[in-house]
Amino acid sequence: MLVRDRSRNEGVLAVVAALVVLFTAVLDPMVSVALSASLLALWGAHKLLRR
């Protein structure tokens, strides 16, 4: 059950991050690139440290 909750939380966070990047792309593409790269790096670090 804990694995399912963790998986669901990661899915929700991925969708929220994708929506944030999508809407910032409308405002400024360079901000979108920087935001997506930083979110991807943070997510990778989080996954690496959670092991």
- Contact between 21 and 32 under an 8 Å Cβ cutoff? The reply is yes
Global pTM? 0.64
Residue 1 in this model has a pLDDT that exceeds 60: no
pLDDT in tens, 7-48: 777 788 888 888 888 888 888 888 888 888 898 898 888 888
> What span, in angstroms and rounded, lies between the C-alpha atoms of 36 and 42?
10
Place of tokens 């989080």: 46
Residue 5 in this model has a pLDDT that exceeds 80: no
Give 34-42 contacts, CB < 8 A, sequence gap 24+. none
Among candidates 23, 18, 33, which has minimal Cα distance to 10?
A: 18
How many residues does the structure list for the chain?
A: 51
Say what the pLDDT of residue 32 is: 85
